[in-house]
Amino acid sequence: MVKLKRCILFIIIIALIMPVVFIKKTMALPLTTSSVHVSAESAILMDQDTGRVLYGKDIHKPMRIASITKVMTAILAIESGKLDKTVTVSDNAFGTEGSSLYLKKGEKIKLKDLVYGLLLRSGNDAAVAIAEAVGGSKEGFVYLMNKKAKELGMLDTTFANPHGLDDELHRSTAYDMALLTKYAMKNPTFQKMFKTKYYTAPQEGEKWDRKWKNKNKLLFNYDYSTGGKTGYTKKTGRTLISTASNDDKNYIVVTLNDGDDWNDHMNLFNWGFKQFQQVKIAEKGKLQGVKKKYYDSPLYLHRDIVMPLTAKEKEAISTELILYKPKNGKKFKKRPEVAGQFKVKIKDAVIEQVPVFYKKPPKEKKSFWSFFHFALSHIVEQVSHD
């Protein structure tokens, strides 16, 4: 009974202090996208650092996704910590239909080499071999894929296999796959693999090595490209994830069912680089102008708040500071770790929000559960902040 009460309390607190879960409703699109034409049935341009949607076309429409599925397969393999493990190719992995590394039954190969082959050459046999090595079985790995999807907030995604071959249950959205890519690009090993143009892997029992060239043409033909993953089946059409960086701008594009994907990706990147500027809205450190008697210590942001904005959006930006208020309205019995939320708005749309902290002394420690207990026992006060 105690565990049930704690579970219910935890859910209530998450709903109160983590509105980022409702990201679909709060991430504003640019003021105008009339200059952008995209052939894809579904497309998204996302800022890689903040997750802000800069352009969207049916971004929450569940669709077949083909081999861009392998971004999830790759990041799970990397996070398993088993890249140096030697994998024996099973009967199930051998001869998997579709694009292939032409692995041999019983062949031994490093998991790391399988992941490179997965990303560069889209090997479906590699996907099954990875799934069995990391998840114990293909079914076990699919469970891990869906578990990770839920953790990342991929609300409209269901994975049915590790490679993306057609399955009636296997669906995702442009938005969800951009979220996944945003997460994966935080991993240095994934970043390195994602942008690799050529890779050589030893081949057991042969005098020659396997040599692979990345199928992502943007890596060879677009100066700003930092990686990507292709996908195609007859039922799905062409799918593509790509990333690109220009100075301090890092973007993600995902297109689904797009017969002109290479051009669409370059055009979206170029449009985004031209239309948006990285604007520092608030600096890391002490917040100025907070004068409340029950906040007897300075409040801090733990990071800079930098957002991609158009010129018109920059003029319409406002900020709001929401602080937790002690129940008696006078003083906290025990100082909270998190004092409130700092919100950035364009008109009425929240485009970013970050927690506001007390600057804690080095020796002070606070348990995860005690923070939630504190937050539930206090009411919230809204305070304007310039």
Task: Pick the catalytic residue from 42, 99, 122, 172.
Answer: 122
CB 52 within 8 A of CB 27: yes
CB 383 within 8 A of CB 292: yes
- Annotated domain spans of the chain: 2-25+279-384, 31-275
Show binding-site residues.
Answer: 229
Whole-number CA gyration radius for the chain = 23
Task: Pick the catalytic residue from 70, 148, 182, 249.
Answer: 70
Residue (of 375, 308, 337, 376) closest to 55 by Cα position: 308
Question: pTM of whole model > 0.85?
Answer: no
- Is residue 67 annotated as part of the catalytic site, yes or no? yes
**Beta pairing, strands 338-346 & 349-358:** antiparallel
Show binding-site residues for substrate.
Answer: 229
Instruction: Report the alpha-carbon distance of residue 32 to residue 187 in Å, rounded.
Output: 33
- Is residue 122 annotated as part of the catalytic site, yes or no? yes
Dihedral of CA atoms 240, 245, 248, 253 in degrees, nearest 10, equals -10
Structure tokens at 158: 């269901």
- Is residue 70 annotated as part of the catalytic site, yes or no? yes
Domains 2-25+279-384 and 31-275 share a fold: no
The domain 31-275 having CATH identifier 3.40.710.10: the answer here is: yes
Architecture of domain 2-25+279-384: Roll (2.30)
Residue (of 133, 18, 154, 19) closest to 76 by Cα position: 133
pLDDT, one tens digit for every residue, the chain (386 residues): 545 545 544 444 444 333 333 333 334 344 445 568 899 999 999 999 999 999 999 999 999 999 999 999 999 999 999 999 999 999 999 989 999 999 999 999 999 999 999 999 999 999 999 999 999 999 999 999 999 999 999 999 999 999 999 999 999 999 999 999 999 999 999 999 999 999 999 999 888 999 999 999 999 999 999 999 999 999 999 999 999 999 999 999 999 999 999 999 999 999 999 999 999 999 998 887 776 666 666 888 989 999 999 999 999 999 998 888 777 666 666 767 788 899 999 988 899 999 998 765 444 444 444 444 434 333 344 443 33
